Structures are given as structure tokens and as C-alpha cells.
């Protein structure tokens, strides 16, 4: 057997690829479609809860059929990392061939995590929001927020985008930079209620460490899509029952992981099978309709799953190979059966 | 924050460190002691069962207090890899700092897996076998087998070592090379029964894909220690109940993972709490006595856990740093809060 080589991609290597919004959205849509058609293996994500919710590791893993790739992502979610000048989430993705178990790429997936979360948010909006959605209300200003707003605006070309977050300097910077990038105003808002009230699409990417209602039920108008995916509950407990459709990414995973916005309500039996309309993959694959009327209030909760990391990590790997980006490493120079 | 660097160690980098048996045994003993004192976090290992038992990924993860290190190991266990000239188990270990979630080492842990398994086998023998054990019967001739035999002979200086495995060319090579390494005969045996009958220490490191009794109860004499840790049951179903002590590595993990020698019997409720004497860490930490008489028949089942991978991976990292071995990589050149 010849040497086993693996390609290492740093944070800056991934940044330098400047993956296009289209390529990312296409890759994630392909992954969701495969999930819907059950052409994936997706064991439950799990955790090393060092000191939850301040510090926790999430371990995501799976197999994606259409690209024949196994992936494991280890993500540290450290809510106080900004005190060290670090993003809260640092992560590493290992991509492996399913024929022999040999890895082929090791990727700093810090940005990939943001991209894939943004892309799933955008896919949720594409399939579950009103096509004529014009007003976006967005809570959160770090990590995934950049991609949430950029990708959804790419799809919807909003008339009005409102942004807020807990720390004033953080939300001001976010709205200023996004305004430049999109070439349209992203309004900085100083409170959550004004940000989300009567918006067509409401995204809550807050990073609470204690429960707090940031999005009251009454702010979610008929026809609106709400996505809330922070670590800690930020909506009213009545919301999952007052919406017309509650869509998740992977219902098995929602059951088995005890962390994340609605996890507590699932654990205690408040949210059960009968409350769930379906999985986003089923909608993307055409197995279930998405939005069926302009009046529906829809809730989409994505906990995040390995499928999206794997498809985007694989996309980054392929682009990097094409362009000679990254550090090729010899993983095993002279493999033999020992 | 300055750049985040990570050290990459290939299979050959790890080999070149020539870690000493003493250093490896000390590190693993420290890890078992920490496990016994509960100075670790050890979520259940889990799996991507591509095509079990031919092809499966095991994902092990944990935190080890004394060395303040988080580790995640991804191991592909591909029973037909020898057809490709590859070891059945290829694995990669990611070591991470628990302060920020930043990784510090990425290690080809293929050999580390063998070492740590051998070291746990040896620690089991040190604490659970008769001190005057003179005869070793060993089934298996790949991967972990080298370290099992070398490490136990280092502790016991056996009078007689018998080795066997399924494929004649494999067992002959194994016994020939081990004979050279140890400077004493390792007898090649053509069947399991003659290998294990009346041995003081019996190790079954077979890699069955279908259940088969390789070690009958009657071959395990009074005073013997038996360790069987293959993927598939290779002993009689009566064994766990006929021994005087049944010791495991981590009882929680034995419950929650459905793969491995005794996992099926645990799942179906045949092996329950009351059948388990304790965990090896409790014995190593002095919280429970190990062997208490020369007549006891003891069974030790180690499924393998991340603690041992992390302590040995960390040892390799430290030695590599000292000696300038490995490839330093920039993981994140200009970290900032985004």
C-alpha cells in the first residue's frame, strides 16, 4: 500500500478559499436531501460537559452517502473565549474514507461551522419562509450570524434587516460590517423585541447562559418563520405548541442530546413526536411539503448535525486540492499490516 | 491572542519516539488511577457502524484531570484491511486544551491504540494475576498483541509464552519476531485450546467476526487471570458467572455501548451490576483490593477507553516536543473574536 496522505487546512487556509455562497448552499442542500432520503448515517452527537453552559465540547459524527465520506467534528463551545480574543467556538473536522478508515483531511472547521449553520438557516428559510419575505429580524452578532444574514439576503434580497445582540460594541460592529458587505443598511437595534416584532423571518442566534424570553410568542406574526438555535431557551415555552409547524433537523438527535434550546422540554416530555411536523431533510427531499400557506407560523429548530459539516468540509477539501491550498501531511509513510 | 499552533505526529513520528515500556505503563497507570478517583470525564464511546463487525468506527473521548487534557480518538476498525496491506485499526487522536477548546496535538494514534491496549492488559495482569504467574497463553497476532506480550513479560518475566492466531503465516511471524525481541522462546501453537489450557494468564485478543468458543471455561484453571477483549464473544456464556471476580474498565461504558465481547450479554440483561466486582481504576487507586487469593479465577474485560489514549497521546506529544519530532502546524494564525 502506498503512503497515506492527509491534507491539513488551517483557519486561514479555509478563509483563503473564499467559498461562494452558491457552492456552500448547494453542498448543504445536497446534504439535507441525503439526510431526508436516509443516505446518511448519523449517530447522536455527544458532549464532554466540562462546565456547561460556559464550556462544553460537542462531538458530531456521521457518514454522507453521495460523497462517500465519514466525518467527525470536535467543537469546543466556550462562551467566555471572547475574553481571550478567541471565537467562542473552535473546531476541528476529521474526514475519513469509508473504505479503509484512513483519514484524508483535517480541517480547522471553525469557519465551516459558521458557514454550515448559516447555510442550514438559509435552507430553512428557503423551504419554510414565505417566498415574499422582506423583513429579517436577527439576534446575535458572532460566528454563525455573518453567514445567516449573508446567505438569507442572497436568497431573499430583503427590504429591511434588523440586527441586535447583547453587547453594544458587538452589535454595532456586526451591523456596520454587514451593511458594507451587503451594500444595504443592516439596522442596529438596541433590544430584541423591536428587532423581531412582526418580521417575516426571525432568527435567534443568541448565546444565553440562562433562560430568558427574547422572542415573545406575540412578536411572531402570522406567516412568519422563526428559527431559534442558541444553547439555552430564549422563547416562551408555549411557542412550540402555538405554531402551525415545528420542523427540526434530526428528531432522533433532538431526543438523545440533552443540550440546546428545546432539549429540556423534550427531555421532560413536554415536546413529543406528535408536536413535530417533520425534518428539514424530508422537506428538502420533497418527501413532505414545506410551507403550505401564507398564514402559517413555522418554527424551525436546528441543533446542527455532522452531515452539514461533512459536506462543507469536503467542499473545502476539494477546492483546496484544486488550488494547492493547505499543508499535505504524511499520515502513514509505509503502511503495513502489523 | 497569539497564533494557535498544533503539533502533528504521523505513524512514523510516533514510532521514532521509541517510548519506553516503563513510561507507557506509568502513564497508563496514572490514567487508571485518575479514573478510579473520578478525576476524569468519560462520556460513553460511540460508533459509526458502517458494516459491523467488518467495518466500524469507534469514537472515544474524555478529559483527564492530572494532565488537564481533553482528547477525542476516531478509530476505524476494518477487519479486512490486511487485504490492502493495512492494519485493521487506523486511528487519529485530537488533543485539546480544556481552557479554550484549542487543540494542541493531532496524533496518528494507530500505534498508541496498540500500546495503550497492551498497557491496560499489563496493568490488569499486574493487579489481578498471581504475582508468581509463569505461563502466558496469548491468542492474537496483530496490533495490540505485540504490546500485550512485551509489557506483560516486562512485568512477569515468564517461563513460558504460547502464542497463536487464526492465520498460520500471521502467528508464525508474530512468534518469530517476539522471540527475537524478548530473547526467549515464544512458542507458536496451532490451536487455541493448547495455547490457553492451564496458563496462569490467558489473553484473548482474537478478532472474530462470528461467535466461537476459543477459551472453554475448563481451560481456565484456579488462580488464572483471563482477559478477553475481542469484538465478538470468544468464551463460553457461563464464564462471567463461574469466575470469582469479573473486573471491567468502565461499567457505564460497558452498558451503553452495544459492541464488544460481553456487550450482548449486558444488553440482554444476563450480566448485571451484581456480577461485576469493580473497575480496574478502583483497584489501581487502592479503593478495592485486586486479587485476594492464589485460587481466585479472575476475568478482566477492557473495552478500551479514551483515558488511556489521552495519557499516551499526551506522553508522545511531550516527548516529541522535547526532541523536535513531528510537524508543527499553524491552526489559526490570527485568532480573534468574530
**Looking at chain A, which residue has its C-alpha nearest residue B92?**
A103
ipTM of model over 0.90: yes
CA distance B149 to chain A (A): 14
Q: How many CB pairs under 8 A join A and B?
A: 196
Task: Find the mean pLDDT for residues B59-63.
Answer: 97
Give, for A228, the enclosing helix (H) or strand (E): strand A225-228
* Domain(s) of CATH 3.30.1780.10: residues in chain A: 4-112+307-332
CA distance A215 to A218: 8
pLDDT of residue A84: 84
DSSP state of A287: S
pTM of the model as a whole: 0.93
pLDDT of residue A1: 63
pLDDT of residue A131: 98
Q: Tell me the pLDDT tens digit for each residue of A145-195.
A: 999 999 999 999 999 999 999 999 999 999 999 999 999 999 999 999 999
Give B70's contacts in chain A (Cβ within 8 Å): 48, 50, 57, 76
Nearest partner of B111 among B93, B137, B132, B84, judged by Cα:
B93
Task: Find the mean pLDDT for residues A205-231.
Answer: 92
Say whether B96 and A76 touch across the interface (CB within 8 A): yes
Lowest mean pLDDT among A22-36, B247-261, B307-321: B247-261
Name the percent of chain A lying above pLDDT 70: 99
pLDDT at A261 over 90: no
Q: Tell me the pLDDT tens digit for each residue of A4-17.
A: 999 999 999 999 99
pLDDT at B213 over 90: yes
pLDDT at B52 over 90: no
Interface residue A173 vs chain B (CB under 8 A): no
pLDDT at B72 over 80: yes
Rounded to the nearest integer, the mean pLDDT of chain B is 95
Interface residue B78 vs chain A (CB under 8 A): yes
Dig out the grid coordinates for A238 from the structure.
408555549
Q: DSSP assignment of B266-316, as one string?
A: HHTTSS-GGG--EEHHHHHTTSS-----TT--EEEE----HHHHHHHHHHH
Higher pLDDT pick, B201 / A142: B201
Say whether A94 and B94 touch across the interface (CB within 8 A): yes
pLDDT band per the 50, 70, 90 thresholds, residue A49? confident
Instruction: Convert A128-151 to b/e letters by CB count within 10 Å (16 or more is b).
Output: bbbeebebbbbbbbbbbbbbbbbb
* Domain(s) of CATH 3.40.50.720: residues in chain B: 129-304
CA distance B73 to chain A (A): 10
pLDDT at B75 over 70: yes
CA distance B247 to chain A (A): 25
Say whether A10 and B330 touch across the interface (CB within 8 A): yes
CATH class in words for B4-112+307-332: alpha beta
CA distance A243 to A225: 9
Name the percent of chain B lying above pLDDT 90: 85
Task: Find the mean pLDDT for residues B284-312.
Answer: 97
pLDDT at B61 over 70: yes
Q: DSSP assignment of B137-167, as one string?
A: EEE--STHHHHHHHHHHHHH--SEEEEE-SS
pLDDT at A337 over 80: no
**Looking at chain B, which residue has its C-alpha nearest residue A14?**
B332
Task: Find the mean pLDDT for residues B3-25.
Answer: 97
Give B143's contacts in chain A (Cβ within 8 Å): 338
Burial of B294 (0-12, 13-18, 19+ CB in 10 A): exposed
pLDDT of residue A87: 85
Q: What angle do CA A143, A148, A151 make, to 5 degrees?
A: 125
**Looking at chain B, which residue has its C-alpha nearest residue A177?**
B338
Give A108's contacts in chain B (Cβ within 8 Å): 331-332
Q: Tell me the pLDDT tens digit for each residue of A107-139.
A: 999 999 999 999 999 999 999 999 999 999 999
pLDDT at B1 over 70: no
Interface residue A140 vs chain B (CB under 8 A): no
Lowest mean pLDDT among B124-128, B181-185, B231-235, B251-255: B231-235
Which residues make Cβ contacts (< 8 Å) with residue A56, sequence separation at least 6? A47, A48, A49, A50, A76, A77, A259
Q: Tell me the pLDDT tens digit for each residue of A282-320.
A: 999 999 999 999 999 999 999 999 999 999 999 999 999
CA distance A25 to A116: 8
Q: DSSP assignment of A142-190, as one string?
A: STHHHHHHHHHHHHH--SEEEEE-SSHHHHHHHHHHHHHHHTS-EEE-S
pLDDT at A338 over 90: no
Give B256's contacts in chain A (Cβ within 8 Å): none
Does domain A129-304 fall under CATH 3.40.50.20? My reply is no
Q: Which of residues 313-332 of B touch A (CB under 8 A)?
A: 327, 329-332
Task: Find the mean pLDDT for residues B57-72.
Answer: 96
Say whether A50 and B57 touch across the interface (CB within 8 A): no
Amino acid at each position: 500500500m502506498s503512503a497515506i496522505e492527509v491534507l491539513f487546512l488551517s483557519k486561514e487556509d479555509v478563509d483563503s478559499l473564499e467559498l461562494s455562497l452558491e457552492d456552500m448552499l448547494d453542498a448543504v442542500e445536497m446534504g439535507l436531501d441525503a439526510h431526508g432520503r436516509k443516505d446518511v448515517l448519523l449517530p447522536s452527537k455527544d458532549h464532554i460537559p466540562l462546565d456547561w453552559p460556559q464550556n462544553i465540547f460537542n462531538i458530531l459524527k456521521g457518514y454522507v452517502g453521495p460523497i462517500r465520506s465519514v466525518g467527525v467534528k470536535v467543537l469546543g463551545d466556550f462562551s467566555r473565549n471572547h475574553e481571550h480574543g478567541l471565537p467562542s467556538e473552535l473546531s476541528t473536522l476529521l474526514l475519513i474514507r469509508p473504505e479503509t478508515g484512513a483519514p484524508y483531511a483535517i480541517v480547522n472547521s471553525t469557519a465551516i461551522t459558521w458557514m454550515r449553520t448559516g447555510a442550514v438557516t438559509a435552507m430553512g428559510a428557503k423551504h419554510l419562509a414565505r417566498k415574499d419575505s422582506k423583513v429579517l429580524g436577527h439576534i446575535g452578532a458572532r460566528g454563525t450570524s455573518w453567514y445567516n444574514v449573508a446567505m438569507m439576503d442572497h436568497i431573499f434580497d430583503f427590504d429591511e434587516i434588523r440586527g441586535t445582540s447583547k453587547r453594544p460594541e458587538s452589535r454595532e460592529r456586526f451591523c456596520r460590517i454587514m451593511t458594507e458587505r451587503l451594500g444595504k443598511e443592516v439596522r442596529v437595534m438596541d433590544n430584541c423585541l423591536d428587532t423581531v416584532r412582526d418580521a417575516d423571518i426571525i432568527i435567534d442566534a443568541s448565546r444565553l447562559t440562562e433562560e430568558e424570553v427574547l422572542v415573545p410568542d406575540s412578536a411572531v406574526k402570522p406567516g412568519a418563520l422563526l428559527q431559534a438555535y442558541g444553547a439555552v431557551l430564549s422563547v416562551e415555552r408555549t411557542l412550540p405548541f402555538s405554531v402551525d409547524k415545528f420542523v427540526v433537523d434530526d428528531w432522533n438527535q433532538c431526543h438523545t442530546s440533552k443540550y440546546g434550546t428545546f432539549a429540556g422540554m423534550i427531555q421532560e416530555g413536554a415536546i413529543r413526536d406528535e408536536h413535530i411536523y417533520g425534518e428539514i431533510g424530508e422537506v428538502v427531499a420533497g418527501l413532505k411539503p414545506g410551507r403550505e400557506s401564507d398564514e402559517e407560523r413555522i418554527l424551525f429548530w436546528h441543533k446542527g448535525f455532522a452531515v452539514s459539516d461533512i459536506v462543507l468540509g469536503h467542499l473545502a477539501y476539494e477546492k483546496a486540492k484544486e488550488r494547492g491550498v493547505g499543508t499535505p501531511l504524511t499520515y502513514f509513510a509505509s503502511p503495513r499490516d502489523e
